[in-house]
Structure 1
Amino acid sequence: MAKLVQFDRTGGPEVLAIRDVATRAPGAGEVRIRVDAIGLNRAEIMYREGGYFYQPVFPSTLGYEAAGVVEAAGEGVHDFSAGDPVAVVPAFSQSAYGTYGDSVVLPASAVVPRPGNVDAVTAAAVWMAYITAYGPLAESGQVRPGDHVLITAASSSVGLAAIQVARHVGAIPIATTRGAGKKQRLLDAGAADVIVTDDEDLAARVAEITGGTGVRLAFDPIAGPGVETLAKGIGPGGHLVVYGALDQRTTPLPNARSFPALNTSTYTLFEITSDPERLRRAVAFINAGLASGSFAPVVDKTFDLSDIAEAHRYMEANGQVGKIVVTVTHDDTTS
């Protein structure tokens, strides 16, 4: 038997239940993984609440990230064998697969080898954050050495990864946070400057930091009317990349009737994880950064799988700096 987190209706953390289900054999193109750690993401909260861009199919599991060891490989899977340490990248729908459990079946296309020197907790904190940052900041070519990059909601796991990726490509990361309590931690994490938006005028501070040139790219998971404020800090010909919708209000098209010209786009990491060649490049880039020490995932707090609802409540409180990881304890005396 396997333990899986499932829910039968949308709602708060209380809808999550840990259930014993029959362990199934992986089908063609699938692997079964013994899960040792699970990375939590804001997308899973939105999915649980019914506010994600697709809806749950009940009973639904959830989860995009995990790390563990291959238990079995299905037909046609040649890259993985039982005993291989692996991690999971977000490359599937939560309505079809999920990582919240102690033994889960996933598409082999969403599984990547885990270097022996990377522990499960660290590996579970990598892929959503760093692939999300990799696309606009590294792969796109929009950010050049010496460019300023504005990273909003910078204390999130993606925000912290974006600071590190920006540094890795030679750019200058400017972080934002609503309150002053996280400012020093963001500076310690590598931000060149931090703007406390509850206390400071964002556009004025960006102009001061950049010498009036503005940033080359603003990287934003919030959306909503606030993008018009972000646009004031972007230099001519710069880029606004919106990769989330934490603000559910309508997002205007900034600078539509004014100068300077602004390139505005949305982005999700699925653009990369659904394309084998792009994913291959992303994995190579991120593994190189991990090996060199340029990339070091920040884990804020860990919870046991039995406390999954409490882990979701902690994420909803928005107090963390970095990744929340759920660890899985296995009873090896039973099958």
Structure 2
Amino acid sequence: MRALVCEQTVGLDGLAVREMADPEPGACHVRIAVAAAGVNFADLLMLEGRYQERPPLPFVPGLEIAGMIDKVGAGAIMGGVEPGQRVLAFLDHGGFAEKTLARAEDVIPIPDDVDDVTAAAIAITYGTAYGALSWRAQILPGEVLLVHGAAGGVGLAAVQVGKAMGAKVIATARGEQRAALAREHGADHALDSEDPDLRSRIKELTGGQGVDVVFDPVGGAMFDLSLRVIAWEGRIVVVGFASGDVPQIPANILLVKNASALGFFWGSYRKHDPGRLRESFEQIFDWLEKGRIRPHVSDVLPLDQGRDALSLVKERRSTGKVVVRVGDGASDPRPG
């Protein structure tokens, strides 16, 4: 099989497309013929040796895929998951390859009307948005949600999930074009994150009360802003640090506002509560079927251009999701 292989943890320069032997599933694993794989910021961290998980070299990056099960290991058959079944899967790594292995409990059947590219694009972003807002923030209908990085994959998902859960959504994104994309996908208000009056604009939109929930995959200055605009008993959900700046939280502000800062790492639920993670996709697929969420995929590139796909995310030249098309027959709703 062909795969995009990380041979050195030096970033994108350590990648090369290589021929490898097909992996064989062990106990409780399935092998999947990959149709499409989503690109994530975490892939970039892994390529630089800066992610929580550091697989031994050489390894194939890629944390989420859509494809078809073609072989099942002993003890891996679960209800509704069997050879020939189209599935999405969550991986430790290995997605950018023509075939990969996944634990049976990390595999979810794909509805017939969901194409491969969409399925590969929703696993981590919409799973993260749903878990952060439902499990951690426990957002309520009518509350005000502030989403940072709202034109990126997880931010745009949070805008849509927040609206589906009944929140009023204020989005921030870098530049008016990206802010416009957030509005197109449901944000009630979308602001330029580089606006020097951003704090006062948010306060104005909330009648001076501030926001009830913040979804923050950016960190840095955006987290500092969130502390200033969070309402009494508000919740800030820390999802990531795309800015590269991990903020230090002044506890006195949390105390004065009775506010909460909550961490959320979606991947940890694969270990600690896989059942809840799987169940969340019943709601996500239901929203998808009803048109209440609309995944935005800005770029689909073939496996040979996998490094270019990762570069789009690294250099912030994409919006929504970037997907690598691995299988020749991968279905894609986009024209052309």
Matched, 1:160 2:159: no
Q: What residue in structure 1 maps to residue 108 of structure 2? A: 112
Shift of 1:330: 4.1
User: Are 2:138 and 1:139 equivalent residues in the alignment?
Assistant: no
CA apart distance, 1:23: 1.2
Q: Which residue of 1 aligns with 2:182?
A: 186
The AA in structure 2 aligned to 1:84 is Q
CA distance in 2, matches of 1:74, 1:18: 27
2:282 aligns with 284
Q: Is structure 2 residue 41 aligned with structure 1 residue 42?
A: yes
Whichever residue aligns with residue 20 of structure 1, its letter is E
Deviation at residue 259 of structure 1 after TM alignment: 2.3
- Are the aligned partners of 1:48 and 1:56 in contact in 2 as well (CA < 8 Å)? no
Relative to structure 2, which stretch is displaced further, 188-197 or 217-226? 217-226
**For each residue in 1:280-302, what CA deviation from the matched residue of structure 2 results, as whole angstroms up to 9, or x when unmatched?**
32121112111211122111110
Residue 63 of structure 1 is matched in structure 2 by 62
Q: Which residue, out of 269, 273, 285, partners 2:270?
A: 273
Aligned-residue offset at 1:250: 4.2
SS at match of 1:231: helix
Alpha-carbon separation, structure 1, partners of 2:20 and 2:278: 33
User: Comparing 113-122 with 76-85, which one deviates more in the overlay?
Assistant: 76-85
- The amino acid that maps onto 2:51 is Y
How far off is 1:225 after superposition?
Answer: 5.0
Kept in 1, the 8 Å contact 2:23–2:99? The answer is no
Partner secondary structure for residue 245 of structure 2: coil
Supply the AA of the counterpart residue of 2:314: E
Indicate the larger mover: 138-147 or 17-26.
Answer: 138-147
Q: Deviations over 1:276-327 (max 9, x none)?
A: 2211321211121112111221111100001111111111120211100110
Matched, 1:82 2:80: no
Secondary structure in structure 1 of the residue aligned to 2:70 = strand
For 1:174, the equivalent position in structure 2 comes to 170
Give the secondary-structure state (helix, strand or coil) at the position aligned to 1:17: strand
1:16 corresponds in structure 2 to 15
Residues of 2 paired with 1:270 and 1:51: CA distance? 16
Deviations 1:99-118 (A, max 9, x none): 11011112112111011111
Can you list the C-alpha shifts for 1:210-239, whole angstroms capped at 9, x where unaligned?
111111111111223542221111100101
* TM-aligned CA deviation for residue 329 of structure 1: 3.8
**Distance (whole Å) between structure 1 residues aligned to residue 32 and residue 228 of structure 2:** 47
TM-score (norm 2): 0.92
- Residue of structure 1 in register with 2:260 after alignment: 263
Aligned positions, number: 325
Question: After superposition, what is the alpha-carbon deviation per residue over 1:240-291, rounded to whole angstroms, capped at 9, x for unaligned?
Answer: 1111122333411145256222201211112433312211321211121112
Give the Cα–Cα distance (whole angstroms) in 2 for the partners of residues 82 and 249 of structure 1.
44
SS at 1:118's partner residue?
coil
**Residues in 2 aligned to 1:185 and 1:260: alpha-carbon distance in whole angstroms:** 32
**Which secondary structure state, in structure 2, belongs to the residue aligned with residue 55 of structure 1?**
coil
Please tell me the root mean square deviation across aligned C-alpha atoms, in Å: 1.7
Letter in 2 for 1:143: I
Q: Is the 8 A contact 1:228 1:255 kept in 2?
A: no
Say which SS state the counterpart of residue 115 (structure 1) adopts.
coil
Distance in 2, Cα, partners of 1:293 & 1:226: 30
The percent of aligned pairs where both chains have the same amino acid is 33
DSSP-derived class of the 1:259 partner: helix
Q: Which piece of structure 1 moves more, 200-209 or 151-160?
A: 200-209
2:319 aligned residue: 321
Structure 1 CA distance for aligned equivalents of residues 178 and 211 of structure 2: 22
Higher relative contact order (CA 8 A, sep 6+): 2
Give structure 1 regions of 4+ aligned residues with deviation exceeding 3 angstroms: 247-250
* TM score, norm. by length of structure 1: 0.92
SS at match of 2:257: coil
Which residue number corresponds to residue 210 of structure 2?
A: 214
Deviations 1:53-104 (A, max 9, x none): 2324111111111111111111112222221111113xx433xxx2110111
- Once the two structures are superposed, residues 164-183 of structure 1 have per-residue CA deviations (whole angstroms, 9 ceiling, x without a partner) of 11111100111101212212
* Partner residue, 2:194: 198
Check the 8 A contact 2:108/2:278 in 1, yes or no.
no
The superposition leaves residues 4-44 of structure 1 with CA deviations (integer Å, 9 ceiling, x where unpaired) of 22112112322111111111321111011111111100000
8 Å contact 2:185–2:294 — kept in the other structure? no
Question: C-alpha distance in 2, partners of 1:166/1:7?
Answer: 36
